[in-house]
Structure 1
Amino acid sequence: MDAHSCLDVASFAQAYGMPGLLEEAEDFVLRNFQEVSTSLKFLDLPADKLLDFLHSDGLCAPSELAVFRAVVVWVEANPAERLAQAQELMTGVRFQFMTFKEFREVRAINLPLKEFGFSLPENLDQCRIRRPKDALVLVGGDQLDPDLGKRLPSRQLWFANSLRTGTGLVKAMDWRILGEIPEKPRFRHGVGVMQGRLYVIGGCEFYTKTDTLKSVYRYDPMQDSWQRLADMQEYRSNFSVVVVEDYSPVSDTWSFAKPLDQALSGHAATLLDGEIFISGGFDCRYQCLTSMFLYHPERGTTYLAEMSQDRAQHCMEVLHHGGGGLCVVGGVCNLRTFYTDQLACEVYDPVSDSWRALTPLAIPHVGAASVVLEGKLYVLGGYCQEDYRETRLVHRYEPITQRWENIGKMPGPNTDIRACLLRLPAHLRQ
């Protein structure tokens, strides 16, 4: 199912009485609304079904302006018949969450505004914030303090219930507790989501070599329950889940994949089109690397163009907008015989096997978490290498404007934390 077929799948499921498939297809539309709105099938969507999508709190879009544009495109496909329906459709656009600049674009459209008849609510209590089912979840983490006795690694899971808490501009993230990791706290661990379940893997529970873990837990948000899985074959911390051992959820067993060409820690890894990309990290002498390569569990390593800047303890995520590519941000870099904060950001184009500069960070994010939500890159927490001061802020990169924006503080311990997107049922998101 993709953006061009999901509406056909939904129509098929509704016609043949398949509620499970219908829910899956409509959820796909809500999660990918902006892309779906550019398809030809979207122009044939019945007005009542479009209105259902517009009124859904689970609709995902970069802004309400994108929702408004989608309605305009739908109306302009057949204005003679659809202008009469525009007024009702515009009740599904939450104009109160637009910026003044966005609202100027609304006022500048070529269609007759009097036909739209939209109006703002009398107060913000009458409006609803969109809360997509895919929530940004933070898992575990550490806090910096020179006194080790006061440092408390975390067992907590937090999630962002809403990304907008004020009119017009993003002011802060609304964080809420989701639960706790069973038994022991964790930092420098790995997290991953597979088939709607969250896996929490390895890491450290404290600060000595014997505190490294190989245990694995799985969280099922539909049941709101945890399950202890088979241990990894090695104790691991400061690693990436897609790189190390291979786990089978069917047999609950781990097996070794082909080893890397060299030992790495503090590197970043992510998937793009089913392929594993690995950037930077420390080598066995704790030198920051500029490397970028493809890794295959059976074929091993294929080296690609190197980054222009060395880095470790950084983030790497896939962005599909604003030119797209694999973005590397934050971390530390080598400076003679010691480390310093890496503020430079780069993006890798796998088609041309080349790098280009991205807008640098304003403040350090070493050992931070990252995730892409609704087409925007979030970098969460970490610390400053220069003075070991915690970075308690969340920064978001907007590919369209190519700018970073500060959207508030972290909810708890914020170094060596991990983040992911996890679909939460409605009763947990309330």
Structure 2
Amino acid sequence: MDAHSCLDVASFALAYGMPGLLEEAEDFVLRNFQEVSTSLKFLDLPADKLLDFLHSDGLCAPSELAVFRAVVVWVEANPAERLAQAQELMTGVRFQLMTFKEFREVRAINLQLLLLLQTLDQCRIRRPKDALVLVGGDQLDPDLGKRLPSRQLWFANSLRTGTGLVKAMDWRILGEIPEKPRFRHGVGVMEGRLYVIGGCEFYTKTDTLKSVYRYDPMQDSWQRLADMQEYRSNFSVVVWGDRLYAIGGDMDMNTNLDSVEDYSPVSDTWSFAKPLDQALSGHAATLLDGEIFISGGFDCRYQCLTSMFLYHPERGTTYLAEMSQDRAQHCMEVLHHGGGGLCVVGGVCNLHTFYTDQLACEVYDSVSDSWSALTPLAIPHVGAASVVLEGKIYVLGGYCQEDYRETRLVHRYEPITQRWENIGKMPGPNTDIRACLLHLPKHLRQ
């Protein structure tokens, strides 16, 4: 499904009574509204369907000006018939979210669309269907006794709180992890429920965890699940098929693991899968086209690696082209825009006998098995969290290796401009934190 076919898919699903496919297609339209609005099929949308999209809080666009322009294009495709519908459609444009400069463009439109001036009460912030959720983390302090690992869950209630293009995030508390705080843990979302796995509660060898909890946002409740078979921190979690996989990590902050465990929610059990070729921690893992990719990390001597490989729970490891830069404690996300690929961002790299911040970013093309440069970060993000939301990469928090200052900022990569944008501060502890996208019911997002 893409921007040119999603509306056809929605029409097909509606005609043949396929509600699941219809929801998926309409969600795609909302997430990619600006691209969809440039397609020929968009011009054939019925007015009532377009209005449904415009009134949705989940509609994603770079600004309300882009939403306004889409309505103008739709009206101008057949002004004789559609001008009469323009006023009602303009009730879906939230003009109070525009800057003065943007609104001047609105006023310059030479149409009877200036009826829209009666609709300036549309000031609700648009929110994506899935909320960006932060889980746990640590707060750096030179005095270990003053460090306060977190049990908190925060979520971004909206991605813009000011008018126009002011970059900010409205953070709110979602709840707390039961029992113990944790950082360097793993998180995964499967069938709409959040899994919080392993990690550390503090900094001694005995503080590594193997406990697992599951959060159900529909019930707003937690459940204790079966422990992993090994204590594990600084590892990666992926959801592959109907199972969760906990990959590598370290067992006591000093000893790396090559083991991989998979969790079955049906039987509430953990089993060992085929191990990695070498013990790893601080690596990144994610899915692309149904395959598990793993990049970088620390080896057994805690050297940062340049490796990139495919992992299969039965076949094991297949090595791919190496990154041009070594890195660990970094992020890796799938970017579908601008050619697409797997983007590696942030972390640390080797520098003689110690580490330094890795600001360089790269993108991997799985078709050509090659790497190319991506716009580098302006500031360090070591031990940061990351997600992809609305086609953009969010890198959240972390710290600076050079002086151990916390990076209390969120940066977002915009593939259209190929720039990193500062969109505000983190809400709480932000080092070795984890992030995910989770669908929250409306009563939790009020």
TM over 0.5: yes
Q: Distance in 1 between matches of 2:280 and 2:165?
A: 41
User: Cα distance 1:138–1:122, how it changes in 2: closer, same or farther (>3 A)?
Assistant: farther
Stretch moving more, 237-246 or 313-322: 237-246
Instruction: Show the counterpart of 1:175.
Output: 171
Cα pair 1:314 1:331 within 8 Å, conserved: yes
User: Cα distance 1:75–1:382, how it changes in 2: closer, same or farther (>3 A)?
Assistant: same
Stretch moving more, 94-103 or 213-222: 94-103
The CA deviation at 1:275 is 1.0
- Percent identity, aligned pairs only, is 97
The CA deviation at 1:69 is 4.2
User: Cα distance 1:251–1:35, how it changes in 2: closer, same or farther (>3 A)?
Assistant: farther
Instruction: Show the counterpart of 1:299.
Output: 315
The CA deviation at 1:229 is 1.2
Q: Distance in 1 between matches of 2:20 and 2:333?
A: 31
Q: How many residues align?
A: 424
Q: Distance in 2 between matches of 1:37 and 1:125?
A: 24
The CA deviation at 1:402 is 1.1
User: Cα distance 1:18–1:361, how it changes in 2: closer, same or farther (>3 A)?
Assistant: closer
User: Cα distance 1:125–1:173, how it changes in 2: closer, same or farther (>3 A)?
Assistant: farther
The CA deviation at 1:76 is 4.7
The CA deviation at 1:96 is 3.6
Q: Distance in 2 between matches of 1:347 and 1:383?
A: 22
Q: After superposition, where does 1:120-159 map in structure 2 within 5 Å? A: 127-159=123-155
User: Cα distance 1:27–1:398, how it changes in 2: closer, same or farther (>3 A)?
Assistant: closer
CA offsets per residue over residues 262-291 of structure 1, 9 Å max, x none?
111000111111111111100000000111
CA offsets per residue over residues 44-98 of structure 1, 9 Å max, x none?
3210121121012122233334433433443354444334323332331224434
CA offsets per residue over residues 395-416 of structure 1, 9 Å max, x none?
1111111111111111100000
User: Cα distance 1:233–1:403, how it changes in 2: closer, same or farther (>3 A)?
Assistant: same
The CA deviation at 1:192 is 0.8
Task: Please give the TM-score of this superposition, normalised by the length of structure 1.
Answer: 0.90
CA offsets per residue over residues 341-386 of structure 1, 9 Å max, x none?
1111111111111111111111111000011111111111101101
Instruction: Show the counterpart of 2:22.
Output: 22
Cα pair 1:189 1:238 within 8 Å, conserved: yes
Stretch moving more, 420-429 or 13-22: 13-22
Q: Distance in 1 between matches of 2:225 and 2:198?
A: 12
Stretch moving more, 122-131 or 203-212: 122-131
Cα pair 1:380 1:393 within 8 Å, conserved: yes
CA offsets per residue over residues 94-152 of structure 1, 9 Å max, x none?
24434567667767879786xxxxxx779987511101221110000001111111111
Q: Distance in 2 between matches of 1:166 and 1:258?
A: 50
Q: Distance in 2 between matches of 1:301 and 1:101?
A: 54
Q: Distance in 2 between matches of 1:245 and 1:262?
A: 15
Q: Distance in 2 between matches of 1:202 and 1:26?
A: 36
Q: Distance in 1 between matches of 2:347 and 2:431?
A: 12
CA offsets per residue over residues 28-50 of structure 1, 9 Å max, x none?
54344345545665443210121
Which residue of the other structure, out of 186, 195, 203, is the alignment partner of 2:191?
195
User: Cα distance 1:352–1:8, how it changes in 2: closer, same or farther (>3 A)?
Assistant: closer
User: Cα distance 1:224–1:402, how it changes in 2: closer, same or farther (>3 A)?
Assistant: same
- Mind listing any 5+ residue stretches in structure 2 that lack a counterpart? 240-259
Stretch moving more, 245-254 or 326-335: 245-254
Stretch moving more, 95-104 or 249-258: 95-104
Instruction: Show the counterpart of 2:244.
Output: none
Cα pair 1:133 1:426 within 8 Å, conserved: no
User: Cα distance 1:352–1:11, how it changes in 2: closer, same or farther (>3 A)?
Assistant: closer
SS in structure 2 opposite 1:394? strand
Cα pair 1:341 1:366 within 8 Å, conserved: yes
User: Cα distance 1:21–1:321, how it changes in 2: closer, same or farther (>3 A)?
Assistant: closer
User: Cα distance 1:77–1:313, how it changes in 2: closer, same or farther (>3 A)?
Assistant: same
Cα pair 1:345 1:357 within 8 Å, conserved: yes
Q: Distance in 2 between matches of 1:291 and 1:134?
A: 32
User: Cα distance 1:104–1:374, how it changes in 2: closer, same or farther (>3 A)?
Assistant: farther
Stretch moving more, 88-97 or 252-261: 88-97
User: Cα distance 1:31–1:401, how it changes in 2: closer, same or farther (>3 A)?
Assistant: closer
Q: Distance in 1 between matches of 2:166 and 2:203?
A: 37
User: Cα distance 1:109–1:187, how it changes in 2: closer, same or farther (>3 A)?
Assistant: same
Cα pair 2:363 2:371 within 8 Å, conserved: yes
SS in structure 1 opposite 2:400? coil
The CA deviation at 1:17 is 8.2
Stretch moving more, 323-332 or 22-31: 22-31
SS in structure 2 opposite 1:4? coil
User: Cα distance 1:344–1:201, how it changes in 2: closer, same or farther (>3 A)?
Assistant: same
- Mind listing any 5+ residue stretches in structure 1 that lack a counterpart? 114-119
Q: After superposition, where does 1:182-221 map in structure 2 within 5 Å? A: 182-221=178-217
Instruction: Show the counterpart of 1:92.
Output: 92
Q: Distance in 1 between matches of 2:185 and 2:95?
A: 41
Cα pair 1:30 1:58 within 8 Å, conserved: yes
Cα pair 2:381 2:398 within 8 Å, conserved: yes
Stretch moving more, 39-48 or 120-129: 120-129
SS in structure 2 opposite 1:13? helix
Q: Distance in 2 between matches of 1:422 and 1:280?
A: 27
CA offsets per residue over residues 2-38 of structure 1, 9 Å max, x none?
7677656766776788888866664454344345545
User: Cα distance 1:195–1:238, how it changes in 2: closer, same or farther (>3 A)?
Assistant: same
User: Cα distance 1:334–1:253, how it changes in 2: closer, same or farther (>3 A)?
Assistant: same
User: Cα distance 1:50–1:363, how it changes in 2: closer, same or farther (>3 A)?
Assistant: same
Q: Distance in 2 between matches of 1:66 and 1:319?
A: 22
